[in-house]
Amino acid sequence: MRKITTQDLEAIAIGSTVLGTGGGGDPYIGKLMAQNAIEQFGEVPLLDPEEVPDDTLIVPVAAFGAPVILLEKLFNGKEALAAFEMMEKYLGEKIFATMPAEAGGLNGVIPFAVAAEKNIPIIDADGMGRAYPRLEMVTFTLYDIPASPITQADEKGNRSIYHTINNVWGETMVGSTVIPMGGSCFIACYPMSGKQMKEAAVRNVISKAQKLGLAIGEAKQKGISPLNNLLSAGDGKLIFKGKIIDVNVQTDGRWNKGICRLEGLEGYAGQQMQLDFQNEFLIATSGEKVIASVPDLITVLDLETAEPLTIESLQYGYRLNVIAMPCDEKWKSKAGIALGGPSAFGYDSPYVPI
Amino acid sequence: MRKITTQDLEAIAIGSTVLGTGGGGDPYIGKLMAQNAIEQFGEVPLLDPEEVPDDTLIVPVAAFGAPVILLEKLFNGKEALAAFEMMEKYLGEKIFATMPAEAGGLNGVIPFAVAAEKNIPIIDADGMGRAYPRLEMVTFTLYDIPASPITQADEKGNRSIYHTINNVWGETMVGSTVIPMGGSCFIACYPMSGKQMKEAAVRNVISKAQKLGLAIGEAKQKGISPLNNLLSAGDGKLIFKGKIIDVNVQTDGRWNKGICRLEGLEGYAGQQMQLDFQNEFLIATSGEKVIASVPDLITVLDLETAEPLTIESLQYGYRLNVIAMPCDEKWKSKAGIALGGPSAFGYDSPYVPI
């Protein structure tokens, strides 16, 4: 156990954006909310999964919606807590700890606000080790943990509880109501025991986010390459350097979908890369060749500073490093690739680990 | 109090179709379900509202969706009970009695199946005295009774609970999820006390449905005009006799919307009538002149038998009587007309009682 401070959240927010693979929502407002909650209610204990007793109740919390809407639509700051407390009341059992469902972007930091205000620990784990656009795309699904009951809260005061027949239906129900809600809401989901969490979660992903965030920051202080420092911290690989020549985003109320095209720079001059995304980057191709794909992580960084960028901030002319990092081993099983690999998004190329 | 038998349900189902004003769903399957439940679990006590103690819990149940889908999509027969029992468990209080939210069509008979299986009474009242296409369009709304919590069940096993900030948002949430559910589901809603029910409900509407159904049946036995007998039983007025020359129905997953055009017959030869509908008939016009409109009831009957017809059964060439009946007094208030009058459906003509 260690205590997470407001300072720790600076690096965690940056690292969560790296793990967010272009999605997960911009963490800026969420970071401020979490820092504010820590200042008001105290530092948040971060538990290693092994420190969590088996017979405890664990409930992840998350923002839900298209990242571009999460960026633009204000939330009142109490929705995640409302969803969490509705779950606690509905289950009639004290929740021992929370955790991110996805440690990417906004969703990597929001659980800290809830943990601080509820005075409970947060577990150093999530259900992805990255960000994914659909509710059922978590390692919990691979271990047959139901998403239900799912509690949902919006900024207006609407609240729902869903018991769905499977986790895909959880996505369907929350994804249907998020649209009239204005495109974003907050949920608590996948209530599970400490024992289930230890089996099914991706471990130590908050520590990993912090390590990635620190790698970028420290490199600047030391005057070394932030890109190389980050790649080294995350077992990552540089797959392209280029300038955006086209970015096409369509938001249907539930997802940002589109493509981003890059023209190579420096050692990649004369080459092109296409990045397809649905909230998160899904596949990076150069001509016919797949360079990287889900479940591995594809992230874009500013060419100079190596700061990670979210998809909704991308614009023509931006100069980027494109990096890929290996996914958690749980995604490399046959079931994992079926749930979160290229075919889950309609691509017929096989998953080839980077 | 009197006991409702399977035989009583025959007349109630026909009368509910008259009150359904073309919508409410075809009651045939619902009637069979209710009769089957009565055979299995016993006759259902029908209570006059005055017989209900003030401090009891009353929960209406209803089918929700576009009538044409309710007709075509099979339900497993346990959805209404599932929604009802979810409500009872969620509120943690025994429900004293159920009632129709709308006594029109399918929704006039479904509550009998739940009452029989739960061995509880049904109250001789509803929230409309007719059928309406939107969840908030009930007299309960006029008396500030929240629709929430609303429980929802589909035939696949999905279950939801909604707490919405107002009754319009109740419609929005259930109306969003019913679409992926396949266009129909069952709900329990407007949990209220006996005292609230006595104040806000439309009284004795089940008895009225039975009276209307009997009026049609008895006329046939006596060899008198079923149309005249029905009009006399329901304070109704014949507003047109004609043949369908055009019927245009569009189903968007949530509603059947469209128009039905008639060419006059007998005393109406040379005239035309247009009936606009959204699940239910909304407005009857002849040229520029509004002949009848919501909140009054507009119903079409077979020209020969006076059997009421639902909109989804209408076809080119059908020969019809069009009748209008006065709505309950609660709808004639300023708030009632705003909630359920022509302007609530985008018509700028004022409500003129028939």
- How far is Cα B109 from Cα B105, in angstroms, rounded to an integer? 7
- CB within 8 Å: B163 and A159: yes
- CB within 8 Å: A177 and B177: yes
Contact in structure between B308 and B300 (CB atoms under 8 Å) = yes
Provide the shortest C-alpha distance from residue B286 to chain A (in Å).
37
Q: Could you give the 3-state DSSP secondary structure of residue A302?
A: strand
pLDDT reading at A42 higher than 80: yes
Q: Does B98 touch chain A (CB under 8 A)?
A: no
Average pLDDT over all residues of chain A = 95
- The pair phi, psi for residue B69, each rounded to 5°, is -75, -40
Q: Which helix (H) or strand (E) holds A264?
A: strand A256-264
- Tokens 């656009």, residue located: A133
Q: Does B160 touch chain A (CB under 8 A)?
A: yes
Q: Does B75 touch chain A (CB under 8 A)?
A: no
- Give the model's confidence band at B171: pLDDT under 50 very low, under 70 low, under 90 confident, else very high: very high
- Residues on chain B touching A179 (C-beta within 8 angstroms): 176
- How far is Cα B254 from Cα A135, in angstroms, rounded to an integer? 25
Q: Could you give the 3-state DSSP secondary structure of residue A161?
A: strand
- Cβ-based neighbour number of residue B70 at 10 Å: 28
* Cα–Cα distances in angstroms (integers) from residue B260 to residues B21, B154, B248, B307, B343, in the given order: 13, 31, 6, 18, 20
Is the alpha carbon torsion for A247, A251, A256, A258 positive or negative? negative
- Give the model's confidence band at A253: pLDDT under 50 very low, under 70 low, under 90 confident, else very high: confident
Q: Does A350 touch chain B (CB under 8 A)?
A: no
- CB within 8 Å: A158 and B177: no
- Residues on chain B touching A158 (C-beta within 8 angstroms): 162-165, 169, 173
What stretches of chain B show up as alpha helix (H) in DSSP? 6-19, 28-41, 67-72, 79-91, 106-118, 139-142, 167-177, 194-200, 205-222, 226-233, 334-340
Please, what's the b/e burial string for B237-258 (b: 16 or more CB within 10 A of its CB; e: otherwise)?
A: ebbbbbebeebebebeebbbbb
- Residues on chain A touching B180 (C-beta within 8 angstroms): 172-173, 176
- The pair phi, psi for residue B234, each rounded to 5°, is -110, 15
Q: What pLDDT does residue A129 have?
A: 98
CA nearest to A169 within chain B? B158
- Give the model's confidence band at B150: pLDDT under 50 very low, under 70 low, under 90 confident, else very high: very high
Q: What pLDDT does residue B250 have?
A: 87
- Give the model's confidence band at B85: pLDDT under 50 very low, under 70 low, under 90 confident, else very high: very high
pLDDT reading at B7 higher than 80: yes
- Give the model's confidence band at A104: pLDDT under 50 very low, under 70 low, under 90 confident, else very high: very high
Q: Does B151 touch chain A (CB under 8 A)?
A: no
Contact in structure between B208 and B110 (CB atoms under 8 Å) = no
Of B158, B169, B172, the CB nearest to A165: B158
The token pair that represents A55 in the structure block: 């017979």
Q: Per 3-state DSSP, what percentage of chain A is helix, strand, and coil (rounded to 5)? A: 35, 25, 35
Is the alpha carbon torsion for B338, A159, B88, A147 positive or negative? positive
Contact in structure between B197 and B49 (CB atoms under 8 Å) = yes
CA nearest to A157 within chain B? B165
Contact in structure between B181 and A185 (CB atoms under 8 Å) = no
What ipTM did this prediction achieve?
0.92
- Residues on chain A touching B158 (C-beta within 8 angstroms): 162-165, 169, 173
Q: How many residues does chain B have?
A: 354
Provide the shortest C-alpha distance from residue B150 to chain A (in Å).
9
pLDDT reading at A72 higher than 80: no
Of A160, A162, A176, the CB nearest to B179: A176
Provide the shortest C-alpha distance from residue B190 to chain A (in Å).
16
| Beta-strand pair A256-264/A237-251 | antiparallel
Q: Could you give the 3-state DSSP secondary structure of residue A146?
A: coil
* Cα–Cα distances in angstroms (integers) from residue B85 to residues A242, B11, B88, B134, B192, in the given order: 59, 28, 5, 23, 15
Provide the shortest C-alpha distance from residue B179 to chain A (in Å).
8
pLDDT reading at B334 higher than 90: yes
The token pair that represents B244 in the structure block: 């369908």
Q: Which of A152, A176, A181, A189 to probe the B interface (max B CBs under 10 A)?
A: A176
Q: Which of B79, B173, B254 to probe the A interface (max A CBs under 10 A)?
A: B173
- CB within 8 Å: B177 and A173: yes
pLDDT reading at B67 higher than 90: no
* Cα–Cα distances in angstroms (integers) from residue B214 to residues A206, B8, B172, in the given order: 71, 9, 37
- Residues on chain B touching A169 (C-beta within 8 angstroms): 156, 158
Model pLDDT for residues A197-225, shown as the tens digit of each residue: 999 999 999 999 999 999 999 998 999 99
Model pLDDT for residues A155-195, shown as the tens digit of each residue: 999 999 999 999 999 999 999 999 999 999 999 999 999 99
* Cα–Cα distances in angstroms (integers) from residue A310 to residues A104, A106, A185, A265, in the given order: 10, 11, 19, 21
Contact in structure between B349 and B283 (CB atoms under 8 Å) = yes
Higher pLDDT, A250 or A164: A164
Indicate the residue type of B80: A
- How far is Cα A106 from Cα A312, in angstroms, rounded to an integer? 13
- Give the model's confidence band at A283: pLDDT under 50 very low, under 70 low, under 90 confident, else very high: very high
Q: Does B162 touch chain A (CB under 8 A)?
A: yes
Higher pLDDT, B76 or A285: A285
- How far is Cα B183 from Cα B66, in angstroms, rounded to an integer? 6
Of B159, B165, B173, the CB nearest to A157: B165
Please, what's the b/e burial string for A282-314 (b: 16 or more CB within 10 A of its CB; e: otherwise)?
A: bbbbbeeebbbbbbbbbbbbebeebebbbbbeb
pLDDT reading at B68 higher than 90: no
- Residues on chain B touching A155 (C-beta within 8 angstroms): none
Provide the shortest C-alpha distance from residue B75 to chain A (in Å).
16
- CB within 8 Å: A158 and B173: yes
- Tokens 């749930």, residue located: A339
Provide the shortest C-alpha distance from residue A184 to chain B (in Å).
14
Please, what's the b/e burial string for A111-140 (b: 16 or more CB within 10 A of its CB; e: otherwise)?
A: bbbbbbbbebbbbbbbbbbbbbbbbbbbbb
Residues 6 or more apart whose CB falls under 8 angstroms from that of B171 comprise: B134, B135, B136
DSSP category for residue A269: T
- Give the model's confidence band at A252: pLDDT under 50 very low, under 70 low, under 90 confident, else very high: confident
Q: What pLDDT does residue B252 have?
A: 79
Q: Does A89 touch chain B (CB under 8 A)?
A: no
Q: What pLDDT does residue A189 have?
A: 98
Q: What pLDDT does residue A67 have?
A: 78
- How far is Cα B353 from Cα A198, in angstroms, rounded to an integer? 67
Contact in structure between B211 and B233 (CB atoms under 8 Å) = yes
Indicate the residue type of A49: P
Please, what's the b/e burial string for B334-351 (b: 16 or more CB within 10 A of its CB; e: otherwise)?
A: eebbebbbbebbebeeeb
Q: What pLDDT does residue A69 have?
A: 75
Q: What pLDDT does residue A73 have?
A: 72
What's the CA angle centered on B337, arms B333 and B338, to 5 degrees?
A: 115
Q: What pLDDT does residue A177 have?
A: 97
Of A157, A161, A180, the CB nearest to B176: A180
Q: Does A179 touch chain B (CB under 8 A)?
A: yes
Contact in structure between A81 and A115 (CB atoms under 8 Å) = no
Q: Does A167 touch chain B (CB under 8 A)?
A: no
The token pair that represents B55 in the structure block: 């401090």
Query: How distant is the alpha carbon of residue B199 from its chain centre?
Result: 20
Provide the shortest C-alpha distance from residue B166 to chain A (in Å).
9
Residues 6 or more apart whose CB falls under 8 angstroms from that of A350 comprise: A342
- The pair phi, psi for residue B270, each rounded to 5°, is 90, -10
Provide the shortest C-alpha distance from residue A220 to chain B (in Å).
49
Query: What end-to-end distance do the CA atoms of chain B give, in Å?
Result: 33
Contact in structure between B42 and B116 (CB atoms under 8 Å) = yes
Q: Does B156 touch chain A (CB under 8 A)?
A: yes
Residue by residue, DSSP assigns B181-228 as TTSEEEEE---EEHHHHHHHSEETHHHHHHHHHHHHHHHHHHTS-HHH
Q: Which of B177, B181, B185, B189 to probe the A interface (max A CBs under 10 A)?
A: B177
- CB within 8 Å: A159 and B158: no
Q: What pLDDT does residue A29 have?
A: 87
Q: Does B42 touch chain A (CB under 8 A)?
A: no
Q: Which of A159, A174, A189 to probe the B interface (max B CBs under 10 A)?
A: A159
- Give the model's confidence band at B251: pLDDT under 50 very low, under 70 low, under 90 confident, else very high: confident
- How far is Cα B50 from Cα A78, in angstroms, rounded to an integer? 44
- CB within 8 Å: A176 and B180: yes
Closest CA to B189 of B158, B156, B145: B145
